[in-house]
Homo-oligomer: A and B are copies of this chain.
Amino acid sequence: MKFTDNRPIYKQIIDHFCDQIINGKWSEEERIPSVRDIAVKMEVNPNTAIRAFHELQENGILYNQRGVGYFVAENALDKVLELKRKEFIDQELPCFFRTMKQLGFTCSELEELYKKQHE
């Protein structure tokens, strides 16, 4: 796995797991691989993986059983969507609209671009 963008790697790992949960890769209560395995697989420092898991745990998306491993929480999918919606509406949207307005883009122009990018 390559971490090419400038955001902190642990944030990218978080997103990666959220995406997988949204896409149904993990069931509720399912055990996910050990920090060590994930760190190896992702070619990442174990501390970095741990940091990501901690944050997922704080948001109620994972839970931890000492000596056993991390598990996908009940309602993890809802929690993920809720978290992302909150971030999106509170942080991305205002900034996005501000820039959009400043650069003179209209909603319909962006819709055009959207369609182009998703063809």
Which one, B88, B107, B117, contacts A103 given CB within 8 A?
B88
Copies in the assembly, this chain: 4
A25 interface residue (CB < 8 Å to B):
no
Name the residue on B nearest A23 (C-beta): B102
Which one, B8, B88, B97, contacts A99 given CB within 8 A?
B88
Which one, B81, B84, B93, contacts A110 given CB within 8 A?
B93
Cβ–Cβ contact B107 & A93, under 8 A = no
Cβ–Cβ contact A103 & B118, under 8 A = no
Which A residues fall within an 8 A CB radius of B?
A: 8-9, 19, 22, 66, 81, 84-85, 88-89, 92-97, 99-103, 105, 107, 110-111, 113-114, 117-118
